[in-house]
Structure 1
């Protein structure tokens, strides 16, 4: 059974890994900004850029899913 579903398990594991990496990056950035008294506008810009990176991975996953369901990839 494991050999049959290896690709699915690998995909889920990789997606969870990226989610945890983004969470840890966000927590470390939050800690650095709190210790250095970064203004609210600076915090907004930093979190917005972090969100754009995360949104890129989400968009990639959606595009990949749509293409594979249509037989393109």
Structure 2
């Protein structure tokens, strides 16, 4: 039974891995910004770039799901 669902388990594991990786990157950036006394404008730019990276990853996943659902992928 486990062998039948290995693709789903692998996909979920990879998604959770990337979510944890983004979380750890965010915590590291927060610590660096705090210790470096970065101005507010610089902090906002850094968080914007991090958010856009995460958003792009999520959009890529949604596009991939929609393409696979229609038979394009």
Range class of TM-score, shorter chain: over 0.9
| Structure 2 match to 1:53 | 53
> Which of 1 and 2 has higher RCO (CA within 8 Å, sep 6+)?
1
After superposition, the CA RMSD in angstroms is 0.6
Rounded to whole Å, the distance in 1 between the matches of 2:38 and 2:16 is 30
CA offsets 1:6-46 (integer angstroms, 9 cap, x no match): 11101100011000000000000000110111011000000
Higher relative helix content: 2
1:29-68 matches, cutoff 5 A: 29-68=29-68
Number of residue equivalences: 73
Q: Matches of 1:11 and 1:19 in 2, distance apart?
A: 12
What is the CA–CA distance in structure 1 between the aligned matches of 2:59 and 2:10, rounded to whole Å?
19
Distance in 2 between residues matched to 1:4 and 1:72, nearest whole Å: 24
Unaligned 5+ residue runs, structure 2?
none
**What are the ranges of 5 or more consecutive residues in structure 1 without an aligned counterpart?**
none
